[in-house]
Structure 1
Amino acid sequence: MSGNDHYFTARPASPDERRVRTVTLGGQDVDVETAGGVFSPDHVDLGTEVLLHSVPAPPAEGDLLDLGCGWGPVALSLALASPGARVWAVDVNERALDLVRRNAELLGCANVVAVTPDDVPEDVTFAALWSNPPIRVGKAELHALLLRWLPRLSPGAQAHLVVAKNLGADSLQRWVADALADVADVDRVASAKGFRVLRVSAH
């Protein structure tokens, strides 16, 4: 993938060639649309699989957040598990957001709202946050991203983040503990296949 087609960009340069993939979400096999220029376009990536197998059931109601949604495996899993909740699928990649909207329609998930970060109203707080965060954007951008969204957890709510051990999961856990000490606690709740799942619990 060229630098101009990186999945962190708003508008990938590659042709938007849609393809259908069968994946397992929420314990069921479903068909979804994917395309080049988004993260892990041909399957549910290993980190996301580890996350989805490690998190507790999401709240049945309230606002739920998938931060860095890609084509939507986490957001769709949240929506399927909690049809009474509103699921925010957030990404900077416009192609990814189009795919999430299409996949939500295909799966009958009318509770998914796929938007860019700035389109989430400032007064929305989250009953849960699940994320395979974009570690490769760099430490400064990643920290800014987490400082923007983790403090928006409702009191008592939890975020679950999956991070590869070799990409700094343990150092990120220490950073979150220090940076958010006044508003949240963080601990590791799972470790599998080279990934850690961190739980951030809002005070």
Structure 2
Amino acid sequence: MTGDHYFTAQPASDAPPREVEFSVADRDYRLASAGGVFSASRLDPGTAVLLRKAELPTATTGDLLDLGCGFGPITCVLADHAPASTVWAVDVNARARELTAANAARVGAGDRVRVRAPDDVPAEIRFAQIWSNPPIRIGKDGLHDLLLRWLPRLAPDGVGWLVVARHLGGDSLHRWLTDQSWQVERHASQKGFRVLRVTR
């Protein structure tokens, strides 16, 4: 056993190749995955709810952010459905970044996806939308720090889409974001998950 988590920067665990298949908005995806990344063997149920219930940015032309991209399912769906946008895929996990880059190329969007470690995203970029199934397992303080770092980088009319399990604090996160002066709407609830729409 190793001490790897999906938020480990350089996973040392074995990485047997896998493939994950899913469908979003009548399009089928088959992406490469591997051990040592978030939800390596399937599309995470929270991510599935987010992609099904949030409003895909089909007409958006700005920069989009997938915060905590894992092996890239949100990145690939955003790039596929927003062909005029650039998608920034951010993760601390180097293996996740490698997989996301490969999967972006697999869906024909490699030229519009920028895969980066958090500190390597240019400070001047402002995002039309931020999408995230945030890493709850890093703890409440870590989660709050993460959101305090990235949500302020929304464009003035930007939208954040977050999915959080109710039993892992979805409702308390809603209240905390409101306390931080964000406008928060519970856009959808399904299978125990909250989809939150966050604006200024």
| TM-score bucket of the superposed structures, by smaller chain | over 0.9
Q: Which residue of 2 aligns with 1:188?
A: 186
List structure 1 segments (4+ residues) > 4 angstroms apart after TM superposition: none
Question: Is this contact kept in 1: 2:24–2:52, CA < 8 A?
Answer: no
Question: Is this contact kept in 2: 1:63–1:126, CA < 8 A?
Answer: yes
- 1:100 & 1:67 partners in 2: Cα distance? 12
Question: Is this contact kept in 2: 1:164–1:196, CA < 8 A?
Answer: yes
Unaligned 5+ segments in structure 1 are: none
Q: Which residue of 1 aligns with 2:95?
A: 95
- SS, match of residue 145 in structure 1: helix
- SS, match of residue 77 in structure 1: helix
Residue-pair matches, total: 198
- SS, match of residue 5 in structure 1: coil
Q: Give me the identity figure in percent.
A: 53
Alignment TM-score, normalising by the size of structure 2 = 0.95
Q: Which residue of 2 aligns with 1:10?
A: 9
Question: Is this contact kept in 1: 2:22–2:30, CA < 8 A?
Answer: yes
- 2:185 & 2:28 partners in 1: Cα distance? 32
Question: Is this contact kept in 2: 1:26–1:77, CA < 8 A?
Answer: no
The one-letter amino acid of 1:85's match is S
- 1:40 & 1:78 partners in 2: Cα distance? 19
Task: State the Cα distance separating 1:14 from its structure 2 match.
Answer: 1.1
Question: Is this contact kept in 1: 2:127–2:154, CA < 8 A?
Answer: yes
> Over the residues paired in the alignment, what is the CA RMSD in angstroms?
1.2
- 2:157 & 2:164 partners in 1: Cα distance? 22
The one-letter amino acid of 1:56's match is E
- 2:25 & 2:116 partners in 1: Cα distance? 22
Question: Is this contact kept in 2: 1:66–1:75, CA < 8 A?
Answer: yes
Alignment TM-score, normalising by the size of structure 1 = 0.94
Alpha-carbon deviations, 1:142-192, whole Å to 9, x = none? 00000000011111111010000000111111111112x1xx311211111
